[in-house]
Amino acid sequence: MKLFVLIACTILVSAAHSQAPTPAPTPSPTPAPAENITTAMNTALDALVTGKCWRASDLTGLTFSATATSRRAQAPTPAPTNTCPADWATVGTKWTANNVLVGTWATQFATAMTSMTTCLSARRLQAPTPPAPTPVVCTDANAELATAFDTLGQTLLDATKSAALATAAEAVTISNTAVTVTGDNGSAMATAAWTAYNTLRNDCGANKLMTLPGRRLQAPTPPAPTPDADCNAKLATVLAFRATRIAQVTALITQATTANCLTPTRRLRRIMRLKYEERTLQAPTPHYCDTAEKAIRLALACFTINGQTFTASSSDSDSNNSTDANADSGSDSDSGSDSDADSSDASNIDNAGKAKKAAADGKCASYVMKIAAVGVMSLAAMFL
């Protein structure tokens, strides 16, 4: 009997300690690689810097637009060893493709807002209680809006590349005419644009009706929904960065052109005069290559293109969001406290397991004592 009880207790203790295996976490799907427009644009910008493409001849007739246009700036006649016109043409081609992407976003946004109008109109007619399930049209409208926001994010600045170009520009020593920048430079503009974009996406990513800046809807027939004023303002803030970028680029190219740089490579020049000779030289035409260099470097910082699809995770720094990068660095500073919490959690789990084992052992001992007592009483009854 005791042997049977001990075996039963062993089985009970083993069952108490055994737990169902924890299923392995399902890995999050890896987003599809975006178009390689970011790498292509960065390569073209680096080629302009390497080739010192801020000569006056390189900047002749160079213009850019904030919207898609059928006009192209004619490249100046290149010198045999000068690749700057081709490099500038590559930048212009990539920027034109980015303008076309803005048009794609506008089409996606219009489609999403049409579906959103239907969604919000239907929801206003439904009874508030009990809560009805989300209509299919609302699910589709939110998905279309997310797609439009993905496309919009690809048109923003590449914050990492803009910061590198702006830093290199600030390192240029100016001994002549200073370069002036109205408002933020490319790096600060990229940070501000991503902050505004993330705020727009977080606050207006679902069940919000918006309109493009400068456009007004016709007076709707009640009870049709009205555009959200706050989301409209946030959307206008994000879209305004594009015109600001081009305005700054135009001003900087103008300053570089005025600097009239002829030979970006610096060489020592010696002026020799014969003994007892006195000459009166006319004032030379100024050629300020340092001014042109800094102006063009600052302009290139405004040309970067993100080109990455938005992902709502801590890896947003991959999409060149400096705000997210700061947030990630903050999480790294807490790594020590996290490891302590994990170790304490592990010890708590071990202590809990020991407590369960002790409780199970106590129950088995109690069962054995009870069975033994019953056996003694039965034996005593037989003798009596």
pLDDT in tens, 319-374: 444 444 444 444 444 444 444 444 444 444 455 555 555 555 565 566 656 676 66
Which among 47-56, 265-274, 305-314, 316-325 has the top mean pLDDT?
Answer: 47-56
Q: Tell me which residue of 306, 49, 261, 44 sits closest to 169, measured CA to CA.
A: 49
Q: Give pLDDT, residue 287.
A: 72
* DSSP category for residue 277: -
Scored b (16 or more CB within 10 A) or e, 230-255 reads ebbebbbbbbebbebbbebbbbbbeb
Q: Give pLDDT, residue 314.
A: 42
Find all residues with CB under 8 Å of 371, minimum gap 6, and list them. 1, 2, 5
Q: Which residue has the higher pLDDT, 336 or 65?
A: 65
Q: Above 60 in pLDDT, residue 4?
A: no
Q: Is 254 helix (H, G, I), strand (E, B) or coil?
A: helix
Q: Above 70 in pLDDT, residue 294?
A: yes
Q: Above 80 in pLDDT, residue 79?
A: no
Dist. CA 185–CA 183, nearest whole Å: 7
Enter the pTM of the model: 0.62
Q: Is 132 helix (H, G, I), strand (E, B) or coil?
A: coil
Share of the chain above pLDDT 90, in %: 42
Determine the average pLDDT of the residues in 259-264: 86
Q: Which residue has the higher pLDDT, 309 or 118?
A: 118
Average per-residue pLDDT in the chain? 74
Token pair of 269 as six digits: 């020049």
Q: Name the amino acid, one letter, at 108.
A: Q
Determine the average pLDDT of the residues in 295-316: 77
Cα angle: 209, vertex 210, 216; to 5 degrees: 120
How confident is the model over 358-367, as pLDDT tens digits?
555 565 566 6
For residue 136, what pLDDT band results from cuts at 50, 70 and 90? confident
How confident is the model over 158-201, as pLDDT tens digits?
999 999 999 999 999 998 889 999 999 999 999 999 999 999 99
Scored b (16 or more CB within 10 A) or e, 303-315 reads bbbbbbbbeeeee
Which segment of 104-118, 205-219, 358-372 scores lowest on mean pLDDT?
358-372
Dist. CA 192–CA 27, nearest whole Å: 32
Asked if residue 324 lies in contact with residue 314, where contact means CB atoms within 8 angstroms, the answer is yes
Determine the average pLDDT of the residues in 99-117: 94
Q: Give pLDDT, residue 361.
A: 59
Domain chopping of the chain, boundaries:
37-215+223-265+285-327, 351-384
Cα angle: 84, vertex 85, 88; to 5 degrees: 85
Asked if residue 111 lies in contact with residue 124, where contact means CB atoms within 8 angstroms, the answer is no
